[in-house]
């Protein structure tokens, strides 16, 4: 005597059905994730500016900061400190 446990035919079929159901669910989720990742990256790429638009914007920013810097220099000169920033520390 040895005792051996074996699955009954109905239990084995139910077990295999559950494995198949879970396998199909994983495949469906994998496909959904791939679709979402692809649509997200496509959407992000379509929202990026062209290199020409980026360069144009950077030119505007550079012009803005140069003008702002000149305004600050002029204000410092008006204060009579020869264009140096006020040191209050």
Distance in angstroms (rounded) separating the CA atoms of residues 1 and 57: 86
Give the three-state DSSP class for 85. Answer: coil
pLDDT of residue 87: 61
**For residue 38, which of 27, 46, 49 has the smallest C-alpha distance?**
46
pLDDT of residue 9: 77
Polymer length of the chain: 89
* pLDDT tens digits, 25-46: 999 999 999 998 888 777 777 7
For the chain, give the percent of residues with pLDDT over 90: 48
Predicted structure pTM score: 0.41
pLDDT of residue 85: 58
pLDDT of residue 26: 98
């Amino acid at each position: 005597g040895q005792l051996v446990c074996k699955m009954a035919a109905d239990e084995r079929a139910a077990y295999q059905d559950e494995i198949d159901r879970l396998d199909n669910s994983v495949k469906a989720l994998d496909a959904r994730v791939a679709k979402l990742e692809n649509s997200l990256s496509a959407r992000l790429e379509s929202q990026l500016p062209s290199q020409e638009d980026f360069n144009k914007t950077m030119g505007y920013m550079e012009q803005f900061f140069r003008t702002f810097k000149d305004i600050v220099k002029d204000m410092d000169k008006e204060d009579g400190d020869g264009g140096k920033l006020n040191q209050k520390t």
